[in-house]
Amino acid sequence: MPATSPLNVLVIDDEESHASLISRVISKNGHHVDVVHRAEDGLARFQGRKYDLVITDVFMEGMGGIKGISGMRQARPEVPIIAISAGFSNMSAEAALKTAREVGADAILPKPFPLADLRLTMTRLLENRRPGK
C-alpha cells in the first residue's frame, strides 16, 4: 500500500471475522479503518465522512452491496471502491462481482482472497487516482 499519509478506509462486510481481518491488515499499515456490517450503515458513514477507499461485500442483509455501491458512486464518484463476494444462493461470486463492476466498483475480489491481493489492489487503485501517476 502507498506509504503516504494515513488513509481513511471504510470496510462494509456482514461477516464480522472477515471485516475484522481486513481492518487489521489495513490498520497495520497506519491507516484508519471504520467497519460496519450493513450497506445502509456504510452508505450513511460514507455520506458523513471523507473516505479515501471503500471495501464492500456484495451480499448482506438489507439493501445489500450493489445498492450501496451505486449510492456511494452517485455521492462521490472519485472514491475507489473494491467489491468482494463469495457468491450467494444461486448467484456465483463471478456474477455478483460482474454486477458490482457494472454499478461502479473499481475493482473486484472473489472471497476468499489472499491478503496480498487486497494490498496489491488497494495500491493500484490509490496510485491510479493520484494526479501525475
Residue type, 58: V
User: Which tens digit of pLDDT belongs to each residue from 92-113?
Assistant: 778 888 889 999 999 999 988 9
Q: Is residue 58 part of a domain?
A: yes
Contact 69, 83 (CB under 8 A): yes
Cβ atoms 11, 132 nearer than 8 A: no
Q: Does residue 2 form part of some domain?
A: no
pTM for the whole structure:
0.90
Cell 455520506 maps to which residue?
A: 47
Matching residue, cell 489472499: 114
Q: How far is CA 67 from the centre of its chain?
A: 13
Within-domain flag for 53 = yes
Structural domain that includes position 44: 8-124
Number of domains in the chain: 1
Residue 63 CB-density burial (10 A; 0-12 exposed, 13-18 middle, 19+ buried): middle
| Domain-located, residue 129 | no
Residue-wise pLDDT tens digits, 33-83: 999 999 999 999 999 999 999 999 998 889 989 999 999 999 999 999 999
What's the CATH number where 23 sits?
3.40.50.2300
Does residue 97 lie within any of the structural domains?
yes
Domain-embedded: residue 132? no
Residue 1 located in a structural domain: no
Residue 133 domain-assigned (yes or no): no
Task: Detail the DSSP E strand segments found in the chain.
Answer: 8-12, 32-36, 53-57, 81-85, 107-110
